[in-house]
Chain A
Amino acid sequence: GAGVSQSPSNKVTEKGKDVELRCDPISGHTALYWYRQRLGQGLEFLIYFQGNSAPDKSGLPSDRFSAERTGESVSTLTIQRTQQEDSAVYLCASSFSGLGTTEAFFGQGTRLTVV
Chain B
Amino acid sequence: GNSVTQMEGPVTLSEEAFLTINCTYTATGYPSLFWYVQYPGEGLQLLLKATKADDKGSNKGFEATYRKETTSFHLEKGSVQVSDSAVYFCALSQGAQKLVFGQGTRLTINP
Contacts and interface: CB of A to CB of B under 8 A. Distances in A.
Counting contact residues on chain A (CB < 8 A from B), the size range is: 20 to 34
A101 B96 contact: no
Given A41-B103, A43-B89, A99 B98 contact: yes
A67 to B, nearest CB: 14
Interface in B34-70: 36, 42-46, 49, 51
Secondary structure class of chain A's binding surface, majority of residues: loop
B43 A99 contact: no
Given A43-B99, A100-B95, 17 more contacts: A4-B43, A33-B99, A41-B104, A48-B98, A91-B44, A93-B99, A97-B96, A98-B95, A99-B32, A99-B93, A99-B95, A99-B97, A100-B51, A103-B46, A104-B99, A106-B45, A108-B43
